[in-house]
Structure 1
Amino acid sequence: MILSLSACTVLGPLPKPTTLTERLGVMPTDGLPLRKLVRIHWNGNQIPYIEAQDDRDLALALGLVHAHLRLGQMEFLKRIAQGRLSEVAGPFANGLDHTLRIIDIPRAVPAIQQSLPDETRRWLEAFVDGINLYRERVRQRPHEFAIYGLDEEPWTVADVLAIGRLAAFDINWLFWLALFELRQNPEWPKTWRELVDAGALSAPSFGGQRDGVSHIPPGLYTGQGGSNSIVISANLSATGGALMANDPHLNLSLPNAWLVAGVKSPSLHAVGLMVPGLPFFAIGRNPWIAWGATNMRAASSDAVDLSGVDEPVIRQRPETIGTRWWFDHEVSIRESRFGPVISDSPLLGIPSDEMVALRWTGHDVSDEVTAMLQVARARSWDDFRDALGTFAVPGLNMLYADHLGSIGQVMAVRLPKRDAAAPSDLVVPAESAARAWAQMQSTPDWPYAFNPPEGFLASSNNKPAATEVPVSYFFAPNDRIDRIKDLLSVERKIDMNAFSALQQDVFVASSERLRGAFLDLIERHGLRDRRPSVVNALASWDGHYDNQSRGALAFEVFLSGFVYALYDESKAQIFFRTGGLPSILQRDLEMVPEAKIVGALEDALDKAEAGLATYGHWGDLHRMRLAHPLANLPLLGHRYVFTDFPAPGSNSSVFQTAFVPTGERHAVHYGTNARTLFDLSDPDENYFVLLGGQDGWLNSSTFLDQMPLWRNGSYVRVPLRSEAVQRDFPHMTVLEPIGGPASVPSTSTRM
């Protein structure tokens, strides 16, 4: 019955194709609660540049623009943050909603809202007013409203802050899902030590050399997670100004997780990437500075063992999970003094005889909105560092460049002062957690870098710097950061073309080295003639994951066959995901009986030959299949798959296209979803491209229009100066205040 009801909602047609003129024509333009006229300039990709004479007017116009471009996506994000997916997805989402209600992502929102500075509160209120004005004045709703059965709910400042907390979730929770399962294995203590040891072997971005790397043999990392942010000082730049490149890595779906915008008002003048529903630039630049960020995988959470706590005080509250097509679901949420009792989650698989609580920095009051608004207004390195003083979650490596040619890096995070030694288990004793969380270390307390002698700084989720207080236990391994440093350590000056090429680099040194180790094993055990086509493909491979590479295909299918022959699937996948495979594989190659090694080699060779025969090239196996979340619907989900083409790159390349290793055709699920380039010598030299397009309206002309640019390494220029915007952005929407006549038609196209 549920499947039938679900199918009935999607039997109607997709929205008809719409032109840019048609899309812009629905924007409300007159009788708005503005103080002065506002002009929104649009380019052919529906990227807006908003010019306002009043800061509050700018925030309201931003709300209108976000709702215009991404209202359906924003409504979905709001419900995820609040644990209300069952209202749109039915009983299938009850377990996820139960877990989200336990974690209570918006828990700190009421206190945050009360503590906001007046200026920030007014900004958020005006932004929300813009969202609600769009909802009230535009009757057409995105396709998602009908499919999801979304109710017409006014937006609030609390909703925006909840999305901000959702964007700040602890990436380590994704590892916990698998680690709690592995924790039931008798070998868990040894596995945990190996994972933590491997995660700590990360090259710092500044302030020292990597720890212990000389003792680790060449290995591999196919774990997920990533983003790259790079800055070049004026001394190394071919343009005479500092350069910045950013390519954030996130889950790949449509609409894109980012939208591009430019703004200009009395106190704010910037261009950059924004999260739909959040009125600030996460990555961007103004006339004086540019900023970028990568997730540092900060240890912002502890799983706390409550079993040893004497008479723990547990509070309970009832929650009703509204369920579409079914009965509402009643759950009880338990809270301890450390935080919510996550062992009650139906998804984590924690044994019923254990009581485990979640202590998360995101449950405490912090003010990231003010921090990022102040970053966008900063004019110097000191302004930039001061702005991030209230930033707590998610932990970010924040990079900086300015118009004077300087560069820098800041660790923006608030963490407990834990002991230097790594914990002996995923679940920590209550007394240890209480001691650690009694004192916190914030952004001003961490090391930073400014104008290092190398002339560049880069971050790829690696260790930012050596610190006494642990920052993370699962830093990204060194493939990407080492490759970036190699490409930047050249004799010639670096220009924007070199930066663009770097963002698309698909070489993985550790895969090339491991390929050599596998060939040695094949030779040693006399297996070269077993599958000569595989051996030849491996031997001739140069370590690049190009679409047409046979060597990349042979290596990845061989690797997955070899690893899954050595380990059970759940353990193999967590080794892949967390980056623990290098040292673990080295140990097991020395300890596993020779017969098992030979059997794994034979199995891997057979699977690789079958893969070569079936697929031929890496891109035939490794696919970019972009889809809307509605693609998960049974039977009719294929209607929401919009692209399927060969994908270059891999888990560990700078141009990341992540996947769970397999010998079967697969879709990339995580990786580079946007690219930006900034040249600080010229305020107009700002370039962006999104994987997909700017518009969230299905079948709009700008829903997928940036896909060809993303594939061929091109960008869209978004200038800062008004005169350049007027030249390059030919469409204009004029927003009129109540009773105020417009000086030009409300929507026009300049020729």
Structure 2
Amino acid sequence: MRACAATAADGPRRARSGVRRARRLDGSAAAAEYSGAGRARGTRGDRAVRDSCMTDTDERRMPPNRPAARVAGDLAGGRRAGATHGLAQTMASTRNRTRRHLKILSGLILCCALLALVLAAAYLRASLPQLDGELRAPVLGAPMTAERDALGVPTITARDRFDAAYGIGYLHAQDRFFQMDMLRRSGAGELSELFGPIALGVDRDHRLYRFRALAAAAVAHLPPDDLRLLQRYTQGVNDGLAALRARPFEYALLRMQPQRWRPEDSLLVIWAMYFDLQGRLASREFARHWLQAHSTPEQLAFLLPPSSRFDAPLDAPGIAAAAAPVSATAPAWLRDARPATSVNGVSIDGQSAVGSNNWALAGSRTASGAAIVGDDMHLSFGLPNIWYRAMFKLGGGAGPAARVVGVTLPGLPAVVVGSNGRIAWGFTNGYADCLELLPLERDARDPSRFRLGGAWQRARETVETIRVHGAAPVELTVLDTTAGPVREIGGKAYAAHWIAQASGAANLAFAKMIEATGVEEAIGIAAGAGLPAQNVVIGDSTGRIGWTVAGALPDRRAPGEAGARGDGAPSWRAALPPDAHPRIVDPAGGQLWTANNRQLAGDAYRLIGDGGADLGARARQLRDGLTALERPDERAAYRLDLDDRALFMSLWRDRALRVLDEAALAGHPARAEFRRLLASGWTGRASVDSVGYTLARGYLYRLYDVLFGGLDARLKQQQHDADYALANRRWPVVIARLLDEQPPGWLPADAASWRDVQLAAIDRTIDALSANGAPLADAAWGRRNTLRIAHPFARSVPLVGRWLTAPADPVPGDANMPRVAAPRFGQSERLVVSPGREESGLFNMPGGQSGHPLSPFFLAGHEAWVKGEPLPLLPGPTEHTLRFVR
């Protein structure tokens, strides 16, 4: 009984304990609830203890009106209820404790996440560049300033171009070092050291040419002034990198430390541009070799026309060469090939080619009497943008002696495109014939011996070690012949004979462009520049204009060296001397233009060669747009860059409308809807709201797939990026001739007529655009032509990807018109300027100055580029000033 009494007394003690604990909760509502629950548990506990401690005597003392059996049952039920309630109470208590623990754990996780975000933000801010203040730079010849405007565009005021090279190197490193690192590693074939095995394929291709070794040798032979410029720039880069309070954020994500810049790295940036602008020449050569091996000469002449009716050369109204006749029979590969099951990548995103527009109007054609130069270079999009804007004020005394404004390429101490007040210049890719694949015969008994051009030679063997992040190094054996490294493509060995490996292919001569005073001097500088072959147009303040090919060209002046000789020997031995580069100065019409097209109709074109020249429709539209201008100023001329009239695609719209007659529509409601929208939804432009443009374009590119998709599949099995469109940029002309002449011997095997071929292309367009049940009426061009501009890490780091991506804006424009636009490719800048009138110059570009997502300059100016709104070329009022003292 005493034990029972003690147990019974335990209930009130628990209640009092609960009250005491509740009081310790500072009188909160939660404490009041806890106190009430404790009293309830104490009352229930008293009753349960009392019931469980009854004896037989207690049972006999029960009231007589309660039968014993009932009382026994009540006692048994009470014991069960008490036990059940105790279990429930224990489980509830356990659940409460679990909830409390989960809340604590959740709180800790949230705190850790918040702390991580705070630390990450602090780290990111530590890697932002310094915008204001004073820095010591003993290497300078005089004090220097770097002033930035609201867009982050710097104005560097320096004693001379050597001090300015230090300044722009410092800013490049602080704003864009990761971009610079990517470029030098691309040129050297060292991307795997950053990105691991995923980059091995690119590194193997690029390392074949051993450009790092060539760069080191080239630096050793630079002229003294060029070497001094490069050393000063290198010092600026390394000082700028070291001055960051934290390494650029990309290296933190990669768990790597950035490596210091070396003088040869700047030359590797030039070789990276060779890969970007000429990197597919080998695949083009392979595709043309394959076509030659699997077609008759007559078939090949039709399939690979050297010109078209769209061509707009600089030296003639057009090219009047007679078109090769269509042979009676098609190659077996065309008749037997099955059409591709999807549109090839070229037609979707326009990235099969790199291009640009540039033009110049003579002073006799402009409102001011000075020349006007326009330039928009077409490249792949990314964040940051490839170009870095800058203005330089050079000189001393009472005021600056020179002012240069334009865009630079991080990694190089040069203004790529711009104006110095006396001349202005702009680039487009020249698409020169700068690489040839020479077939090799390998000695079966000695794999290092090859026969090239009828003579046997032993290749020089070098073992290159590719360092791989997170994996063991990979060794690559490079075999070099006298014509170039050995490349295996499609199971065959070739010597890759590329002008990029010639002496002088990469140098800093172009950096002197900022000192040129007139057209003739600028043409001489450009022709001697060590860079990929580029069309350069130049205008000066006196109104003169000129064109030449800047950069390295093969020397094909010797008779019989317009192309590869039949014996397989190289068709050239060295680079063309600068004074032999073709050029045009002060043309009679007062205008010059290039748009990656064939530049010349005459014999001089053999000095350039066809390395994949564009169809010519864009160049013709640009030329005709210039002709129509009447004494324009810069703003009127700028509108040429935004010309999205669909003159070329209207031809294919008309074809589709003609084939969709009543017979074609009968029993085919989808075709009827296609025709209705093609007629009513046509704006005459590649505008974002044009459904008709999407349909006409789809029709053309599905025709390509029906006819050549099977060929592309065969080519890609042997070389991943080879296709017919790469072998022949004039492929629309070939398709048009087939539809016009309707040769029965060229019909695909599964088609009964050329009408069927066209209807099949329309049906495939309908199927593609109606996927997932989408109506054709929703196929506005802007839904497909939506920008996808992002930092390389945007997709691989999901949590921060949204901050590394530009808005997904729909944009007008397409290929075959001046306003070239695709989701990941297009006008990387737009510049219009009259030398000496830079205050009226216009500019915009995608992205912003900074590569840092927390910088206010990360996307500054991007919206203006999307909308096509011109911004001033010159920087605006100063908002930040960084001073460099000795």
Secondary structure (helix, strand or coil) at the match of 1:710 reads: helix
d(CA) in 2 for partners of 1:53, 1:173:
39
d(CA) in 2 for partners of 1:224, 1:137:
39
After TM superposition, give the deviation of residue 581 of structure 1 in Å: 1.8
Corresponding position of 2:765:
604
Q: Out of 350, 353, 360, which is 2:498 matched to?
A: 360
d(CA) in 1 for partners of 2:126, 2:559:
56
d(CA) in 2 for partners of 1:391, 1:524:
60
Query: 1:48 touches 1:262 (CA, 8 Å); kept in 2?
Result: yes
Judged with a 3 Å threshold, the aligned counterparts in structure 2 of structure 1 residues 106 and 18 are, in CA distance, closer, same or farther, namely closer
Greater Cα offset, 92-101 or 709-718: 709-718
After TM superposition, give the deviation of residue 642 of structure 1 in Å: 3.1
- Gapped regions of structure 2 (runs ≥ 5): 1-115, 326-345, 396-400, 442-450, 714-721
Matches within 5 A, 1:255-334: 255-266=384-395, 269-307=403-441, 308-309=451-452, 310-334=455-479
d(CA) in 2 for partners of 1:407, 1:487:
18
Corresponding position of 1:538:
678
AA at the equivalent of 2:765: A
d(CA) in 1 for partners of 2:355, 2:439:
30
d(CA) in 2 for partners of 1:170, 1:193:
29
Judged with a 3 Å threshold, the aligned counterparts in structure 2 of structure 1 residues 49 and 298 are, in CA distance, closer, same or farther, namely same
Note the alpha carbon deviations across 1:125-173, whole angstroms, 9 max, x for none: 0000001111223232221111234334221111111112222337343
Q: Out of 606, 609, 615, which is 1:472 matched to?
A: 609
d(CA) in 1 for partners of 2:815, 2:703:
17
d(CA) in 1 for partners of 2:125, 2:253:
23
Judged with a 3 Å threshold, the aligned counterparts in structure 2 of structure 1 residues 440 and 491 are, in CA distance, closer, same or farther, namely closer
AA at the equivalent of 1:317: T
Matches within 5 A, 1:594-633: 594=753, 595-608=756-769, 612-613=775-776, 615-633=778-796
Corresponding position of 1:224:
353
d(CA) in 2 for partners of 1:212, 1:340:
39
d(CA) in 1 for partners of 2:657, 2:560:
38
Corresponding position of 2:342:
none
Query: How many residues matched?
Result: 700
Corresponding position of 2:29:
none
Asked if residue 733 in structure 1 is aligned to residue 882 in structure 2, the reply is yes
d(CA) in 2 for partners of 1:382, 1:178:
35
d(CA) in 1 for partners of 2:729, 2:257:
43
Query: 1:204 touches 1:210 (CA, 8 Å); kept in 2?
Result: yes
After TM superposition, give the deviation of residue 196 of structure 1 in Å: 3.6
d(CA) in 2 for partners of 1:183, 1:396:
25
Query: 2:847 touches 2:861 (CA, 8 Å); kept in 1?
Result: yes
- Gapped regions of structure 1 (runs ≥ 5): 1-10, 344-349, 659-667, 720-724, 738-751
Matches within 5 A, 1:30-179: 30=136, 32-169=138-275, 171-174=277-280, 176-177=282-283
Asked if residue 417 in structure 1 is aligned to residue 551 in structure 2, the reply is no
Corresponding position of 2:622:
484
After TM superposition, give the deviation of residue 636 of structure 1 in Å: 6.3
Judged with a 3 Å threshold, the aligned counterparts in structure 2 of structure 1 residues 395 and 464 are, in CA distance, closer, same or farther, namely same
Secondary structure (helix, strand or coil) at the match of 2:536 reads: strand
Matches within 5 A, 1:361-380: 361-366=499-504, 369-380=507-518
Corresponding position of 2:108:
none
Secondary structure (helix, strand or coil) at the match of 1:728 reads: coil
Secondary structure (helix, strand or coil) at the match of 1:539 reads: helix
Secondary structure (helix, strand or coil) at the match of 1:108 reads: helix
Aligned CA-pair RMSD: 3.3
After TM superposition, give the deviation of residue 446 of structure 1 in Å: 2.9
Note the alpha carbon deviations across 1:34-68, whole angstroms, 9 max, x for none: 23210112111111111112443222112111111
AA at the equivalent of 1:734: R
Asked if residue 506 in structure 1 is aligned to residue 644 in structure 2, the reply is yes
d(CA) in 1 for partners of 2:232, 2:661:
69
d(CA) in 2 for partners of 1:19, 1:241:
46
After TM superposition, give the deviation of residue 27 of structure 1 in Å: 7.3
d(CA) in 1 for partners of 2:770, 2:696:
10
d(CA) in 1 for partners of 2:553, 2:530:
5
AA at the equivalent of 1:486: D
Asked if residue 235 in structure 1 is aligned to residue 375 in structure 2, the reply is no
Query: 1:414 touches 1:443 (CA, 8 Å); kept in 2?
Result: no
d(CA) in 1 for partners of 2:132, 2:711:
50
Judged with a 3 Å threshold, the aligned counterparts in structure 2 of structure 1 residues 201 and 543 are, in CA distance, closer, same or farther, namely same
d(CA) in 2 for partners of 1:18, 1:331:
37
d(CA) in 2 for partners of 1:454, 1:683:
25
d(CA) in 2 for partners of 1:261, 1:432:
47
Note the alpha carbon deviations across 1:598-625, whole angstroms, 9 max, x for none: 4334333454566653743111122101
Judged with a 3 Å threshold, the aligned counterparts in structure 2 of structure 1 residues 478 and 638 are, in CA distance, closer, same or farther, namely same
After TM superposition, give the deviation of residue 284 of structure 1 in Å: 0.8
Q: Which has the higher contact order (CA 8 A, sep 6+)?
A: 1
Note the alpha carbon deviations across 1:301-356, whole angstroms, 9 max, x for none: 1111122434322111112211112222122111111111122xxxxxx133x221
Judged with a 3 Å threshold, the aligned counterparts in structure 2 of structure 1 residues 642 and 116 are, in CA distance, closer, same or farther, namely same
The TM-score with structure 2 as length reference comes to: 0.73
AA at the equivalent of 2:516: A
Q: Out of 595, 615, 631, which is 1:460 matched to?
A: 595
After TM superposition, give the deviation of residue 176 of structure 1 in Å: 3.7
d(CA) in 1 for partners of 2:572, 2:624:
39
AA at the equivalent of 2:373: M
Greater Cα offset, 32-41 or 545-554: 32-41
The TM-score with structure 1 as length reference comes to: 0.85
After TM superposition, give the deviation of residue 490 of structure 1 in Å: 2.1
Judged with a 3 Å threshold, the aligned counterparts in structure 2 of structure 1 residues 637 and 622 are, in CA distance, closer, same or farther, namely farther
**What's the % identity of the aligned pairs?**
23
Query: 1:462 touches 1:475 (CA, 8 Å); kept in 2?
Result: yes
AA at the equivalent of 1:467: D
Query: 1:366 touches 1:392 (CA, 8 Å); kept in 2?
Result: yes
After TM superposition, give the deviation of residue 192 of structure 1 in Å: 5.8
Secondary structure (helix, strand or coil) at the match of 2:697 reads: helix
Corresponding position of 1:582:
732
After TM superposition, give the deviation of residue 516 of structure 1 in Å: 0.6
Judged with a 3 Å threshold, the aligned counterparts in structure 2 of structure 1 residues 303 and 184 are, in CA distance, closer, same or farther, namely closer
AA at the equivalent of 1:259: Y
Corresponding position of 1:651:
815
Judged with a 3 Å threshold, the aligned counterparts in structure 2 of structure 1 residues 194 and 256 are, in CA distance, closer, same or farther, namely farther
Judged with a 3 Å threshold, the aligned counterparts in structure 2 of structure 1 residues 205 and 371 are, in CA distance, closer, same or farther, namely farther
Corresponding position of 2:381:
252
Judged with a 3 Å threshold, the aligned counterparts in structure 2 of structure 1 residues 509 and 433 are, in CA distance, closer, same or farther, namely farther
After TM superposition, give the deviation of residue 695 of structure 1 in Å: 0.8
Judged with a 3 Å threshold, the aligned counterparts in structure 2 of structure 1 residues 612 and 177 are, in CA distance, closer, same or farther, namely farther
Q: Which of the two has higher C-alpha Rg?
A: 2
Judged with a 3 Å threshold, the aligned counterparts in structure 2 of structure 1 residues 545 and 575 are, in CA distance, closer, same or farther, namely farther
Greater Cα offset, 134-143 or 119-128: 134-143
Judged with a 3 Å threshold, the aligned counterparts in structure 2 of structure 1 residues 397 and 275 are, in CA distance, closer, same or farther, namely same
After TM superposition, give the deviation of residue 392 of structure 1 in Å: 4.6
Secondary structure (helix, strand or coil) at the match of 1:695 reads: coil
After TM superposition, give the deviation of residue 537 of structure 1 in Å: 2.1
Judged with a 3 Å threshold, the aligned counterparts in structure 2 of structure 1 residues 122 and 270 are, in CA distance, closer, same or farther, namely same
Query: 2:385 touches 2:848 (CA, 8 Å); kept in 1?
Result: yes
Note the alpha carbon deviations across 1:347-392, whole angstroms, 9 max, x for none: xxx133x221111111122176543222210001221122234225
Query: 2:357 touches 2:593 (CA, 8 Å); kept in 1?
Result: yes
Greater Cα offset, 245-254 or 356-365: 356-365
AA at the equivalent of 2:463: P
Secondary structure (helix, strand or coil) at the match of 1:623 reads: coil
Asked if residue 564 in structure 1 is aligned to residue 670 in structure 2, the reply is no
d(CA) in 1 for partners of 2:762, 2:676:
15
Note the alpha carbon deviations across 1:552-611, whole angstroms, 9 max, x for none: 122223333343233326629834454232232134431324144443343334545666
